[in-house]
């Protein structure tokens, strides 16, 4: 099968492009997303939240070509997994001369995610997400970021939209979109998703063709999450009805301005009574875990 733009062998089916044309196509798509949704400017101090996986590494690479960036990774303490992806990330950042900050859940809180899960009945991804969000925001602020870019792709977003629908939590979808969040508060670094319109398949192909040296292994907790169930369902549906994921996002983007207007609040979140970070409750989720662990 030939590339639809030249005589080279196609490496991707839809659009049917050879390696060079596919790379150009995907990078142009990300640049257009940044421009159309005004995600970043040259004046921004950009921190990219990275894990060492294909999505965040691709995001980091592209942004580092066009902007000054700093990479920020969290070591949650997931034995046999995170240490491997962080080694990949260190190699990648050294090769591309990108400044990297790694902060560890163990150093910050005195326990690892594995220890928390061994001692409590917390759901892995809920606990992991809360600890990561807490540290990423705190360290992005320390790094004086004006924007925090993440590697979320079109598949991630379509899953989140469906999960919120299935759980009757549509108010949470108001926080989604290429620019996340509902309120501007100096304690929150605005989060943006440059890969918003790129599918998982496109990013996987890009990372492979660019030979980033990332492992494609999944976190050992992935399979136990609700997201994994929705992911399987969507993949099955996409197989039978190609274009489903993209159509979910197209429809969602039409609804998003209305959702943001409906759920936007002028009220700033309160400060956690323990750490002072912004929190929806008197004590933020991360501090609730710390207090729980202090009992053991």
Stretch that binds ligand SF4, among 32-40, 83-91, 168-176, 221-229 (CB under 6 A): 221-229
Instruction: Kindly tell me which of 11 and 73 has the beta carbon lying closer to ligand SF4.
Output: 73
Query: Which tokens go with 110?
Result: 């005195």
Instruction: Kindly tell me which of 212 and 221 has the beta carbon lying closer to ligand SF4.
Output: 221
**Interaction between residue 143 and ligand SF4 (CB under 6 A):** no
Choosing from 90, 120, 129, 182, the residue that interacts with ligand SF4 (CB under 6 A) is: 129
User: ∠ CA(140), CA(142), CA(146), 5° rounding?
Assistant: 50
Point out which residues pair with 50 in neighbouring strands: 73
Neighbours of 70 (CB within 10 A): 21
**Interaction between residue 125 and ligand SF4 (CB under 6 A):** yes
Choosing from 101, 104, 180, 222, the residue that interacts with ligand SF4 (CB under 6 A) is: 222
What is the closest distance, in whole angstroms, from the C-beta atom of residue 110 to ligand SF4 in the complex? 19
Query: Which tokens go with 156?
Result: 């991630």
Query: Read out DSSP for 19-59?
Result: HHHHHHHHHHHHHHHHHHTT---TTS-EEEEE-SSHHHHHH
Choosing from 46, 47, 219, 230, the residue that interacts with ligand SF4 (CB under 6 A) is: 219
Count residues contacting ligand SF4 (CB under 6 A)? 8
Task: Report helix, strand and coil shares of the chain as percent, to nearest 5.
Answer: 50, 10, 40
What is the closest distance, in whole angstroms, from the C-beta atom of residue 195 to ligand SF4 in the complex? 17
SS3 letters for 194-261? CCCCCCHHHHHHHHHHCCCCCCCCCCCCHHHCHHHHHHHHHHHHHHHCCCHHHHHHHHHHHHHHHHHH
Instruction: Kindly tell me which of 128 and 140 has the beta carbon lying closer to ligand SF4.
Output: 128
Q: How far apart are CA 149 and CA 196, in angstroms?
A: 11
**Interaction between residue 115 and ligand SF4 (CB under 6 A):** no
Q: How far apart are CA 247 and CA 194, in angstroms?
A: 19
Backbone φ/ψ region at 116: left (φ over 0), alpha (ψ -120 to 50), beta: alpha
Instruction: Kindly tell me which of 76 and 277 has the beta carbon lying closer to ligand SF4.
Output: 76
What is the closest distance, in whole angstroms, from the C-beta atom of residue 129 to ligand SF4 in the complex? 5
What is the closest distance, in whole angstroms, from the C-beta atom of residue 219 to ligand SF4 in the complex? 3
**Interaction between residue 124 and ligand SF4 (CB under 6 A):** yes
Stretch that binds ligand SF4, among 90-98, 102-110, 220-228, 256-264 (CB under 6 A): 220-228
Residue labelled with tokens 């260190």: 90
Count of H-run helices and E-run strands, the chain: 12, 7
**Interaction between residue 164 and ligand SF4 (CB under 6 A):** no
What is the closest distance, in whole angstroms, from the C-beta atom of residue 63 to ligand SF4 in the complex? 21
Choosing from 67, 221, 252, 289, the residue that interacts with ligand SF4 (CB under 6 A) is: 221
Choosing from 63, 72, 128, 161, the residue that interacts with ligand SF4 (CB under 6 A) is: 128
List residues binding ligand SF4 (CB under 6 A): 124-125, 128-129, 219, 221-222, 225
């Amino acid at each position: 099968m030939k590339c639809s733009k030249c005589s080279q062998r196609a490496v991707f089916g839809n659009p049917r492009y050879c390696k060079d044309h596919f790379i150009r196509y995907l990078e142009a798509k990300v640049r257009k997303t940044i421009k159309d949704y005004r995600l970043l400017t040259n004046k921004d101090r950009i921190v990219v939240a990275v894990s060492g996986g294909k999505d965040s590494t691709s995001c980091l690479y592209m942004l580092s070509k066009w902007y000054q960036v700093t990479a920020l990774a969290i070591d949650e303490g997931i034995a046999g997994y995170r240490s491997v992806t962080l080694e990949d990330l260190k190699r990648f950042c050294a090769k591309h001369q990108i400044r990297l900050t790694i902060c560890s859940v163990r150093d910050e809180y005195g326990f690892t995610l594995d220890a928390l899960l061994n001692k409590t009945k917390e759901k892995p991804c809920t606990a992991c997400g809360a600890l990561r969000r807490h540290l990423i925001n705190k360290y992005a602020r320390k790094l004086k970021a004006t924007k925090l870019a993440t590697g979320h792709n079109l598949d991630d977003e379509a899953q989140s939209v469906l999960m919120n629908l299935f759980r009757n939590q549509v108010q949470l979808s108001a926080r989604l979109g290429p620019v996340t969040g509902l309120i501007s508060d100096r304690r929150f670094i605005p989060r943006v998703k440059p890969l918003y319109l790129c599918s998982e398949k496109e990013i996987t192909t890009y990372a492979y063709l660019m030979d980033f040296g990332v492992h494609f292994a999944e976190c050992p907790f992935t399979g136990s999450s609700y997201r994994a169930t929705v992911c399987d369902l969507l993949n099955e549906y996409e197989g039978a009805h190609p274009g489903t994921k993209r159509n979910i996002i197209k429809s969602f983007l039409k609804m998003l301005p209305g959702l943001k207007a409906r759920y936007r609040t002028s009220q700033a979140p309160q400060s956690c009574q323990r750490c002072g970070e912004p929190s929806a409750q008197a004590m933020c989720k991360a501090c609730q875990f710390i207090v729980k662990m202090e009992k053991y």
